[in-house]
A and B are shown apart, each in its own frame.
Chain A
Amino acid sequence: MKLSAREADGAMVVRVEESRIDAAVAIQFKDAMREMTQAARGRVVLDLARVGFIDSSGLGAIVSVLKFLAPDRRLELAALGPNVERVFRLTRMNEVFRILPESPGALAKDDG
């Protein structure tokens, strides 16, 4: 499971670089997130802009990340497409997570 991390707006922003978080990769996603967020302090934003599909296994993995980051670190979600938003809405997990329309810093001009 390929993830990338950067800092923006005082948060660690972790972008999922794959198109699906489904039953085939849910455990790898959880393990990769655990490793990626070891150094995180404070907010962690999961950027789902590149993810087109999440099933309940993937959703469960995201909830488990929320749990293992708590209580010191908070997991937020960003850039949900319509298919991803649907699974959060149907399970009411959209009421549990703070969901940002855009990934932090995603609209910023490139300074380099």
Chain B
Amino acid sequence: MPAPTDTGTRLDLRFEAEPFAVRRALCRTVATFAGRIGEAAAGALELALAEVLNNIVIHAYGGDGGSISLSIEFRADALHCRICDAGRAIPGGAPPSVGPDTDPAGQPALREGGWGWQILRKLAEDLTYERAGGENRLTFRIATMG
């Protein structure tokens, strides 16, 4: 892994699409920003990123590995996140819309997966997705105030 650049307000990492590499990247991210943004925002950031990165490992690269680049910049009361990979495009060309999280009786659906986008949409603001140059590029913001 090339040496990451880390100026305190910005973190750039490149790592393998593999669960333990994702875990290390998340821990590195939290360690970098937690002291600046507080535990709650750091927790939201970690969870949002985990869902994006797990999707890339499983769906974009299909478990076969590949490269992920992650950039996070802290400015203007928000963490600006950008995640790129060279795996398969998101089907339909857009992050899936999230279905109802209740069953027909109004109870929370008792499922074992499919929460990733739901969690991300609840935590992230201004979620954008672009497929360009053979890459998936996802951007969003995590608020650090309020």
Contact = CB atoms under 8 A, between A and B. Distances in A.
Contacts of B102: 92
B54 interface: yes
Given A22-B19, A24-B23, A53-B46, A96 B110 contact: yes
The secondary structure that dominates the B interface is helix
Contacts of A23: 19, 22-23, 50, 54, 57-58
A95 B108 contact: yes
27 contacts: A22-B50, A23-B23, A24-B22, A24-B23, A53-B26, A53-B50, A55-B47, A55-B54, A56-B115, A57-B54, A60-B112, A60-B115, A61-B112, A63-B112, A66-B110, A82-B39, A82-B40, A86-B44, A90-B122, A91-B101, A91-B108, A91-B115, A91-B118, A91-B119, A93-B108, A95-B108, A96-B110
A57 B58 CA distance: 11
Contact of B51 (A56, A63, A67, A86): A56
B75 interface: no
